[in-house]
Amino acid sequence: LKMNKLNNYLVPNVLVRTSDGERSYDLESRLLSDRIIFLKGEVEDGMASICCEELLHLNNEDSTKPIHLYIMGPGGSIHAGLAIIDTMKIIDAPVYTYAIGYVASMDAAIFSAGDKRYLLPNSQVMVHQLGSGCEGKLHDLSVSVNYDKRLNNLLLGMIGRNCKKFTDKEFNLIRDTIDEMSDDNEDAVMVLPKALAKKLSEFKKSVDRDTWLMPKAAIRFGIADEILTQRETEVI
């Protein structure tokens, strides 16, 4: 058994029989050879860097075959999650995402970015607005809250685009206006065309609180494409 230092869990070893004899792999490395990556636990810098490295490695091995990214977790760092999403988008290999157990917050954003997005029959998805943990001096708080508002517009614009609530052109416009938001401007939608500002505002209201979606609801919401049915087993 090998201890995963990032998430504090044990990774079992498996024996694989080949024509050259038996080889021992830790299970994560064995799955990687089948182009499977598991993203589990809180999204943070260490886990994100390993996930990005695995995506780049598999793309370098074969940029035409899909990579299968299984996700289960409560969310976490937006910056770490955006690093994973950006890496998914810059590589040529398609990335299929699978929600197992539950994907919440930043994990849901990563899941939504898959080229194909699959739900297991009893998995759940949770989407909500950004949570801020700002602290410090009064002026620093103002700056931090303003920055969090920009991130919130960026992240929800991205999720909305993945859910087909916005076109690519509309999302690019949302992203391009983020830096036009000043400390005196409370919301970046103020600099958007009126119709798009309304659409963004309505989408933000739809996920103002924790929005839990069972599989069929997740598909109706647009954040997933398909529910994987359980294999039928033959009764002996």
Residue 189: how many CA atoms within 13 Å on its side-chain side?
16
CB-based contact 106:82 (threshold 8 Å): no
Among the options 128, 132, 144, 206, which is catalytic? 128
Integer angstrom CA distances of residue 150 from 1, 10, 57, 129, 180: 43, 38, 32, 12, 10
Taking the C-alpha atoms of residue 131 and residue 7, their distance in angstroms, rounded to an integer, is 22
> Which of 24, 77, 79, 105 does the annotation list as catalytic?
105
Answer yes or no: 128 catalytic: yes
Residues acting as catalytic residues: 105, 128
